[in-house]
Structure 1
């Protein structure tokens, strides 16, 4: 029997278990995928701890994960694409991606370009669609000056690159150990923390056009202090600021996932987008993976490496 990550009560990483589950065969217009890699995301911590119970209640035993990449092992009736043996990138709304096997509607997978690594492919859905939503929300245009707060995280690092590709000058806030990498992407790195607004003013004295907050911790206040128009400020984490300042909180649900994921995979395959993975763990060490993620220090993503692709 295949294994999957489950939890039967709200709590910290200690409630996570890797248990055997039934492998549901694909129904009409569904496919079954042997998962090679699955990414983890900060929002999953909040769901598992019960902090988002009203909006996203758990139904115990609950699974985890939205992002995965793997190889198709079976297809149901009415499926023209993909075929058995195809490598795919998947995106699930069923909290079931952190597993050895996922059965999902065929419309929820896209082809994985050969040039895209498994860990990169598994990291694209949540972070990538959220990053694209941020770019759309603040209407990034060529010639703009855009601040991305939390630019070294999974969402921030993709949003930074998408803004650069759009022709914007990007000021990227991050800890100093990540400045060299952000500079290599074409961004202007700046240390976060006290005095951030003043540091940004020195870097871009002509002002800031748009502000993307992927970190929280008062960044929306910084954007307001910099004089950024409220309809060009978007936060994906500070929902109290939405009420206080009436800024945007657009996330992944505001974009079409298949279209965005296909675009991002193409950019990665062409070498135009980098998706760094700073740590990987086997499925059995999912607790350690989330503890590392909770520390909020790292460049890019953390991935669960479920199985070697050549073992499928």
Structure 2
């Protein structure tokens, strides 16, 4: 089968499509014929080598950890899934390899009828991450939450899932994305200098929690929340030095001491929540762009601009 991988750090051009042996579903797993898979900003940084001291990897490194497709192999002990089912889900964090013709999923849910393959292909990672962080922050009805970097792949999902919990959501993004954020249920503002004052004007009673999907603004985010314990980041590796928790689900041997925190349990229950919300028309998965597997380098290049609105996906 075809799979996207890289064998050295470097620019997007180090990615290549290669032929490898297809994986098989083990106990508690399903294999899917992939229709679409996600491109992870974190993996883009891993590929560049900028995280080599934090997230060491073994080569060859196969990319992709969320995908959608049709079940074609069911492992021992699996119930509720049969060949032919349309699903979306995640690979094991130690395996990855979802940017391929076939992928083995360890967590999955039925593909919502309202989502295209492209929308479903990049959904699972954003849904799990959003659920995990919103749970850690105990976001619920009546809370006010700030999502920093709200127009990206995780940010757009976090905004909608927080709003579905009954929270008031403020989201930061470039001004040209403000109408888009309003359509998702957030009150938008710009990021950068003066952010605490702008947020204070939107939420005079204060902010209960901050979900950081970007990086480089932790001092301002702590000032907005009033306590580093009310801030969780998924992107800023300086978190520990600010007393902020960095949430990740990667195995300890792949993250290094620089992360400053052990992996959090994956919030795979979020996949079922997403299916329910999608069926109610309350969760959509904006797709910034779709590429073929052979165009993985172009997909990584777009991700590196940090201007993609929503998820970047690869189509089979």
TM-score, normalized by the shorter chain, greater than 0.5: yes
CA contact under 8 A between 1:39 and 1:68: conserved in structure 2? yes
- Corresponding position of 1:95: 96
**How far apart, in 2, do the equivalents of 1:112 and 1:227 lie?**
36
- 1:201 corresponds in structure 2 to 200
Aligned CA-pair RMSD:
2.0
Q: What is the alpha-carbon distance in structure 2 between the residues aligned to residue 222 and residue 296 of structure 1?
A: 20
Task: Name the CA distance, whole Å, in 1 between partners of 2:150 and 2:183.
Answer: 13
SS for the counterpart of 1:36 is strand
Q: Which of 232, 244, 248 is equivalent to 2:245?
A: 248
Greater Cα radius of gyration, structure 1 or 2: 1
Shift, 1:122, TM fit: 1.4
* Unmatched tracts of structure 1, length 5 or more: 307-312
Query: Cα 1:24–1:150, aligned 2, differ >3 Å: closer, same or farther?
Result: closer
For residue 284 of structure 1, what is the aligned residue in structure 2? 294
Equivalent pairs counted in the alignment come to 301
Q: d(CA) in 1 for partners of 2:247 and 2:47?
A: 22
- 1:138/1:234 contact within 8 Å kept: yes
| 1:131 to partner: Cα distance | 1.2
What is the distance in 1 between the residues matched to 2:282 and 2:87? Answer: 20
Deviation by residue 1:53-88 (Cα, 9 ceiling, x = unmatched)? 455432222210101011122335554442221111
Structure 2 CA distance for aligned equivalents of residues 25 and 210 of structure 1: 41
Q: Which runs of structure 2 are paired with 1:63-212 in the superposition (5 Å)?
A: 63-76=62-75, 78-92=77-91, 93=93, 94-102=95-103, 104=104, 107-212=106-211
Could you say if the C-alpha distance between residues 17 and 34 of structure 1 is closer, same or farther in structure 2, counting changes exceeding 3 Å? Answer: same
**Greater shift in the superposed pair: 203-212 or 5-14:** 203-212
> Structure 2 length normalisation: TM-score?
0.88
C-alpha separation in 1, matches of 2:145 and 2:25: 45
Relative to structure 1, is the Cα distance of residues 9 and 270 closer, same or farther in structure 2, using a 3 angstrom cutoff?
Answer: same
1:235 aligned partner: 233
Q: Is the 8 A contact 2:225 2:231 kept in 1?
A: no
Return the alpha-carbon distance in structure 2 between the equivalents of residues 301 and 153 of structure 1.
7
Q: Paired residue for 2:271, among 252, 261, 264?
A: 261
1:14-29 correspondence runs (5 A): 14-27=13-26, 29=28
Question: How far apart, CA to CA, are the structure 1 residues paired with 2:212 and 2:26?
Answer: 41
Residue 226 of structure 1 corresponds to 224
The alignment partner of 1:239 has SS state of: coil
SS in structure 2 of the partner of residue 265 of structure 1: helix
SS in 2 for 1:226: helix
Report how far residue 256 of structure 1 moved: 3.8
TM-score normalized by structure 1?
Answer: 0.89
Preserved CA contact (<8 Å) 1:213 1:236: yes
Distance in 1, Cα, partners of 2:184 & 2:110: 26
Conserved? CA contact 1:130–1:155, under 8 Å: yes
**Residues 75, 227 of structure 1: CA spacing in aligned structure 2 closer, same or farther, 3 A cutoff?**
closer
State whether residues 132 and 255 of structure 1, in contact with CA within 8 Å, keep that contact through their aligned partners in structure 2.
Answer: no
Does the Cα contact within 8 Å between 2:129 and 2:267 map onto a contact in 1? no
Contact 1:129 1:255 in 2 (8 A): no
| Distance in 2 separating the partners of 1:75 and 1:205 | 53
Distance 1:116 1:242, change over 3 A: same
